[in-house]
Amino acid sequence: MYGEFIKGIRLNKDMSLREFCKLTEIDASNWSKIERGLLAPPQDEEKLKKIAKVLGIKAGSETWKEMKDLANIDAGIIPEDIRSDQEVLKALPMFFRTIRSDKPTAEELDKLIEMIKKED
């Protein structure tokens, strides 16, 4: 909800994920999860103000109020510790492009499965 709302505004402003995260000084990995509803949005007023400023949302405006309401509603999102096999499968790669141009080792495959399971 909050994530989709902010992403919509960001895309309307033609702002890439990277640009947005650089301007707001937010970790892009975490922010990507917030936009997907996998992590709770920030609750800190200063951080919300910074996000609003970067997106051109005026403090006190209707959009500002909506953003804060959604941030409050989504505050209870708790990240899943372990994802199901089906979810992990969807998140695995179709193909790999490794720097050494070989297929990944069994150990690398296991590491990737673990990373995705835990959403590292």
Partner 1 sequence: MDPSEFKCERIDKNNLWVAADKVRNTHWPEGRLPVDIEKVVEFRLNLLIEPKHGLFSSTDMDAYLKMDLTAIVVDYDFYMNEKFANRIRFSFAHELGHFFLHKEIFAKFDIVTPSDWKNFVRDISDYEYSSFEWQANEFAGRLLVPHSDLVLAIEQAANIITENKLIDYLENDPDAVLSRISPMICKPFGVSADVIKRRAEREGLWPPEL
User: By the criterion CB under 8 A, which residues form the site for partner 1?
Assistant: 11, 14, 16-18, 21-22, 28-29, 32, 35-36, 85-86, 88-104, 106, 108-113, 115, 120
Nearer to partner 1, 45 or 110 (CB): 110
Q: Hey, what are 40's tokens? A: 């709770």
The nearest distance, CB 2 to partner 1, in angstroms, is: 16
Nearer to partner 1, 26 or 40 (CB): 26
The nearest distance, CB 24 to partner 1, in angstroms, is: 13
User: Rounded to whole angstroms, how far apart are CA atoms 28 and 21?
Assistant: 6
Given a contact cutoff of 8 angstroms between Cβ atoms, the answer to whether 24 and 50 are in contact is yes
**What is the per-residue burial (b if ≥16 Cβ within 10 Å, else e) of 68-96?**
bebbeebeebeeeeebeeeebeeeeeeee
The nearest distance, CB 100 to partner 1, in angstroms, is: 7
Nearer to partner 1, 60 or 99 (CB): 99
User: Rounded to whole angstroms, how far apart are CA atoms 74 and 96?
Assistant: 35
The nearest distance, CB 19 to partner 1, in angstroms, is: 9
Given a contact cutoff of 8 angstroms between Cβ atoms, the answer to whether 24 and 39 are in contact is no
Nearer to partner 1, 59 or 115 (CB): 115
